[in-house]
Structure 1
Amino acid sequence: MAKFYRIVQAHWAASAMSGEGARLNGGRWNPPGISAVYLAESRALAALEMLVHAPREVLHLAWRLIEVEVPEKWIVTARHSALPADWQALPSSPSARQFGEAWLSEPGSLALKLPSVLIPEEHTLLLNPLHPDAARMKISKPLEFRFDPRF
């Protein structure tokens, strides 16, 4: 089992694994209209991902950390050579969203392991919440998480 992490505001904890936020807003690897859940391979990377996306004034709010265990056989690792040339572009590129959408629309695997834009030697996990095996993952009860006030 591989363990991954997601940090969300407390009021979103109950729906954190639904993919609804990414469906409504899109993300690096999915366009709006396509459900996806983004996870990080460490607590620190999950926090860093939130820090670059959340306005500083919300960091004092109540946050929750969710631990997700995914069987390794359900994870496909994306090869760097297969990624779009501009996968690290800021803001995210249409080709990165198309790449993710193509993967999410295939019934094959539950999760795609991708390099993090923030730290390419570490990884994020793009999870298909509509995949039949999504219900079989081990998901922790949301745990209290606090950002250091120096942020």
Structure 2
Amino acid sequence: MEAYRLSREMYASTLSGKGAAMKGARWNSIGVEMIYTASNRSLAMAEVAVHFTLATLPVDYMMMTLFIPDNISLLKLNIGDLPIDWNIFPHPNATQAVGDKFIAENQYCVLQIPSVVTRGDFNLLINPKHSEFSRIKILEVEKFPFDKRVFK
């Protein structure tokens, strides 16, 4: 399967969970490395766009296309598996506990979870410490100019 990730140009040549670990996010606490990806390009764009205005949007975003082998260990969570407040903003600590547990247990390389931003789509969270992580490859990296109409 393919996964997609928008990344600033200086970080688009490698896969690392270090950025997420520096600040923490919806599915990981500070100090917990995790790579956030999306199941399609539109979702990858939407996941970034919700954090910016047109005036604050960096111009150096790159779309990374990743190859994730179909037989990689993957845990699928549905809405019913998540905390009741999983999709509120700002995110609750309960969602970070879900992701932190996924990383700590180290049973699966990828966690598929419903997107908060785009109902019906899925994010793919990658554990960079898992033994299968080296099987995930960057297939392509290309400039990704945002359409300014997204920010009207």
TM-score for the superposition, normalised by structure 2: 0.91
- Where does 1:9-48 land on structure 2 (aligned, <5 Å)? 9-15=8-14, 17-48=15-46
- CA displacement at 1:69 relative to structure 2: 1.5
- Where does 1:41-120 land on structure 2 (aligned, <5 Å)? 41-59=39-57, 61-73=59-71, 74-120=73-119
Matched to 1:26, the amino acid is: G
Matched to 2:47, the amino acid is: E
Q: For the Cα contact (< 8 Å) 1:23–1:31, is it kept in 2?
A: yes
- CA displacement at 1:11 relative to structure 2: 1.9
Aligned to 1:8: 7
Q: Percent identity of the aligned residues?
A: 31
Q: Distance in 2 between matches of 1:95 and 1:75?
A: 21
Q: Distance in 2 between matches of 1:32 and 1:54?
A: 21
Higher helix share: 1
- CA displacement at 1:55 relative to structure 2: 4.2
- CA displacement at 1:12 relative to structure 2: 2.0
Q: Runs of 4+ in structure 1 displaced over 3 angstroms?
A: none
- CA displacement at 1:62 relative to structure 2: 1.6
Aligned to 1:124: 123
Q: For the Cα contact (< 8 Å) 2:4–2:63, is it kept in 1?
A: yes
Q: Distance in 2 between matches of 1:19 and 1:134?
A: 12
Q: More deviation in 127-136 or 59-68?
A: 59-68
- Number of aligned residue pairs: 149
Q: Distance in 2 between matches of 1:137 and 1:11?
A: 20
Q: For the Cα contact (< 8 Å) 1:60–1:149, is it kept in 2?
A: no
- CA displacement at 1:60 relative to structure 2: 5.3
Aligned to 1:149: 148
In the alignment, structure 1 segments of 5+ residues that lack a partner are: none
- CA displacement at 1:58 relative to structure 2: 4.0
